[in-house]
Structure 1
């Protein structure tokens, strides 16, 4: 019996700017759950690219249009290297999330750079990208997008939690998928680790040496976002206008900032996954053992950690899956998750 297979590359760049995650995956067409990650790699950003992407939020429209092209060319080059290094010969499509610069869905704005036409031209492959815009046009948050993958690929878990720049969760309730951003994670922890010359707080060691600032913790936990009902999502803008000023006004000691924010993360996540649930945790934050211990202590749930490959590359894998759903014209954006006016198949397809 011949099983039809689809081969795809998924590409993800998260808000924490750790690097570009690439996954080469094979999906069995008759059962998407039967996927196999064949190759996976993270390409770290150079200092120059990190600065460019961090500061792009302050750029004017013309500069952003130029950056969209340049970044698309940059991704195309990275993809070609990945294809060449792993001697990949069969590719049905590439699915790219791009890098989020602006995300203000309440104003109808979301922008992920990484021009799909440039990527298609450079790699000579079909490319699916721009997964968020259509959802925002349909009145949705344009985020989170991963839950359809949680629903169809990881349905054995009660909750799927990702710890990246932000933490987000998805779960099944009342016959529909619910998902939302919980709180910032690495986007804040890394920012303050950078202030003492570190790329990040490895294993949460610095945080473990700090003291909790109870006033700051109380004010963080009292922020209006946490009282809102889903669908809801967070962006860098909110962190810059709300979180950083609040922290900087109340605490200057970096270990204590990290300790307090770890407590904040653990409290917010535990509000969502309390009781004896089976929870799948993925994303770079999982390697922060101090943070994971704090979450475990607060939440008292059964925490499952998958293979390191899945911890690192689940989001890139799911973007490949979103691409598969788009090219086969199946729903990849859920109204129950984003608040859009309907379920739909999102993304734009570009050809070389």
Structure 2
């Protein structure tokens, strides 16, 4: 008889560089796929690690290999601290996303550090990881991967939107799941806030105080990516080449930048939604705490926006990577070709034993 209940740790590091998110969860496959979060925590990156990860895209292969090894050791330490703090035992696997350094699927490239077999040995537990590479090899975008979780765990919502380093949306369309990256969010906002020696714009207060730059807003809204049809995905390379220079060539006033960019994000998100008051939208991710951003989104759509409890806002992606891992352990589909554009649905990831 096939096992139906699993105890897992999900691990996620996003492009916003705020830290490593971990959840201890129980996932059940009895009558329907269900979950319970038992413990969760974010282990913040030090400024030193933020700088290392920010600069990783520019490293040569030897330097990147060195960083990959260092990050694997660092990630193992974070996972062991989580296990010790919450007195965790008897887990089926640790399911880890790693940290994305390169994502150029049009060139057949996606690379996440921290996905070495060494991780399993260091934490002395089975590891399921490296979920994106196979999809790119199959002609897909390698992203987004969360929509299988939206389908299985959060199907009461018409739209699932995550506001993290990037905003992405997931929905059912004619019995197929579709999903795509909408636009960068915290990758851009936090970049400019760090110039003021702040990690982020708390509650969107600086954005609220800034002035809207209509000329800059028009240029941002005209970026070619927004005219592409899904499947499509974004990486930090695109942000560094297309978005940051565009902003910096137009203005240096950071309050005006963060206000204008926040309005830009709200417009792009509203463009992805219908205007039906019965359409439920689940909002998660760190951007959900940006009060000004949420107000701007709501002012542009009549949809019913649901902001869940803080734990789900913060840890939904880590939870879903636990789900991706257990689906891989079960030999079941965890990546949908309708989402990524790959040739087939498939069960992606690598399994490493200690």
TM-score by length of 1: 0.98
Give the gaps of 5 or more residues in structure 2.
Answer: none
State the SS of the aligned residue for 2:242: helix
State the SS of the aligned residue for 1:83: helix
Query: What's the counterpart of residue 39 of structure 1?
Result: 39
State the SS of the aligned residue for 1:87: coil
Q: Distance in 2 between matches of 1:26 and 1:224?
A: 42
State the SS of the aligned residue for 2:103: strand
Residue in structure 1 matching 2:312, options 284, 301, 310 = 310
Q: Distance in 1 between matches of 2:249 and 2:85?
A: 48
Query: What's the counterpart of residue 325 of structure 1?
Result: 327
Aligned-residue offset at 1:4: 4.3
Question: Which shifted more, 117-126 or 224-233?
Answer: 117-126
State the SS of the aligned residue for 1:313: helix
* 1:32–1:68 distance in 2 versus 1, CA, 3 Å: farther
8 Å Cα contact 1:163/1:285 also seen in 2: yes
Query: 1:255-334 counterparts in 2 under 5 A?
Result: 255-276=255-276, 277-334=279-336
Q: Distance in 2 between matches of 1:116 and 1:38?
A: 27
8 Å Cα contact 1:164/1:283 also seen in 2: yes
State the SS of the aligned residue for 2:342: coil
Q: Distance in 2 between matches of 1:68 and 1:115?
A: 8
Query: 1:17-166 counterparts in 2 under 5 A?
Result: 17-31=17-31, 33-166=33-166
> Once superposed, which parts of structure 1, at least 4 consecutive aligned residues long, lie more than 6 Å away?
none
Q: Distance in 2 between matches of 1:5 and 1:247?
A: 49
Aligned-residue offset at 1:349: 0.5
Q: Distance in 2 between matches of 1:128 and 1:66?
A: 22
State the SS of the aligned residue for 2:245: helix
Q: Distance in 2 between matches of 1:41 and 1:160?
A: 22
Query: What's the counterpart of residue 231 of structure 1?
Result: 231
State the SS of the aligned residue for 2:249: helix
Aligned-residue offset at 1:31: 4.3
What per-residue deviation string (whole Å, max 9, x for no partner) do you get for residues 236-281 of structure 1? 0000000011001111110000010011000000000131221000
8 Å Cα contact 1:71/1:115 also seen in 2: no
What per-residue deviation string (whole Å, max 9, x for no partner) do you get for residues 131-170 of structure 1? 0000000000000000000001000000000000000000
Q: Distance in 2 between matches of 1:78 and 1:273?
A: 38
Query: 1:243-254 counterparts in 2 under 5 A?
Result: 243-254=243-254
Q: Distance in 2 between matches of 1:317 and 1:66?
A: 29
Residue in structure 1 matching 2:348, options 323, 346, 351 = 346
8 Å Cα contact 1:72/1:118 also seen in 2: yes
* 1:39–1:134 distance in 2 versus 1, CA, 3 Å: same
8 Å Cα contact 1:7/1:26 also seen in 2: yes
Aligned-residue offset at 1:316: 0.1
Query: What's the counterpart of residue 180 of structure 1?
Result: 180
**Residue 190 in structure 1 maps to residue 187 in structure 2:** no
State the SS of the aligned residue for 2:229: coil
Q: Give the count of matched residue pairs.
A: 350
Provide the alpha-carbon RMSD of the alignment: 1.0
State the SS of the aligned residue for 1:103: strand
Q: Distance in 1 between matches of 2:13 and 2:196?
A: 24
TM-score by length of 2: 0.97
Question: Which shifted more, 271-280 or 8-17?
Answer: 271-280
State the SS of the aligned residue for 1:279: strand
* 1:49–1:327 distance in 2 versus 1, CA, 3 Å: same
